[in-house]
Structure 1
Amino acid sequence: MQVDYSLLAKICNLWRNYDDIQDSWTSVLSILDWFVAHQDILQPVAGPGHWNDPDMLLIGNFGLSFEQARAQMALWTVLAAPLFMSTDLRTISAQNVDILQNPLMIKINQDPLGIQGRRILKEKSLIEVFLRPLINDAFALVFFSRRTDMPYRFHSSLARLNITCSGLYEAQDVYTGAVISGLQPETIFTVIVNPSGVVMWYLYPIKKPGISQQ
């Protein structure tokens, strides 16, 4: 990569990094793989006012399944990507509108810190985990499955994901709204990830009982 990203960050608000996206899951994966392969270079140069751009969201077109559409939205959000839609609003389904207008997803994407997330774990089971630090000691976590056979039960803990701050956490499932309470760094949890799909958490610390929340 012969690109002066420091210069780009000074003079550009965003820049396309890779090939034009096509209306296919293969294209989405190729862009994601490229971003992961170069994340050590790309992550530090992203921030408020200057963004890496992996190209358009395909949600509402023809090439992605429901699970794949939810996955692209979550992965682009954790990568702090500019969320540009590329679809016909006259024919988009209500299901796809819900994906694109998810309030918590948009809140995470627009987080004031502007830190780009990165892949932190790649399992032999074909499950990958992406993490993005957020304001107020919160995180966005994306559990992503590259499997094509069946839903997979992924077991982990926050400590294994290098989230080791003391105290309790809660996680809200970004798509279902379900809340998982009482998470400590060593707590073992399970997420069920559909093939070519994601589970996305908004993870945030909570006050211990008896401590004033001023």
Structure 2
Amino acid sequence: MTTLLHIDSAITGDASVSRDLTRRIVAQWRASHPDVEIEYLDLAANAPGHLNADALGFRFPQGADLSEAQRSENALSEQLVSQFLNADVVVIGAPLYNFTIPSQLKSWIDRIAQAGRTFKYTENGPVGLAGGKRVIVASTRGGVYSTTEGGRALEHQESYLQTIFGFFGIKNVEFVRAEGVNMGDAPRSAALQAATQSIAGLNTRAEAQAEAA
């Protein structure tokens, strides 16, 4: 049995394109892997607080005398990082907000970015500890950023997610992209069609990777 962690972060509810795409990705995964166990996080509805002094409890030495607030924050961070580490597949809805990811998604990443859990420091530099997972990101954008050098310089969404999950040791990060969804009916239709085709190919790529391994 595999475990899939399904995460949404869009604040637009039923109008969200990324939420629609993650639902379809997870439904297709379930159809092809009927024994999968699915856990769900809606970060727009239940986002972890931004890091503050109390939320840094997971960085303190084991057995340190923590305050009640620090213990509470530490328990939340432990819950989130354990859930992430236990997942075989992670499906994330990540819309582009102001050239980057939603702050709710960033808060979740800050909680799981823990030395000794998802990465470690060595004399040769940092080493990721969360390898072996598959991360599928539903990337949605109102405009088009992937086709020009200027557009690519502006986006800190896919580039950031590729970097941070790579830092955690995850090499298998895929993007199902729908961009230009706010540029009119024709661009939106083309973007959704491209995303649908990308979703349809996910299982084929999974089988090819399994055979290669």
Would you tell me which structure has more strand in proportion to its own residues?
1
TM-score, normalized by the shorter chain, greater than 0.5 = no
Q: TM-score, length-normalised on structure 1?
A: 0.28
More helix by share: 2
Higher relative contact order (CA 8 A, sep 6+): 2
**TM-score, normalised relative to structure 2:** 0.28
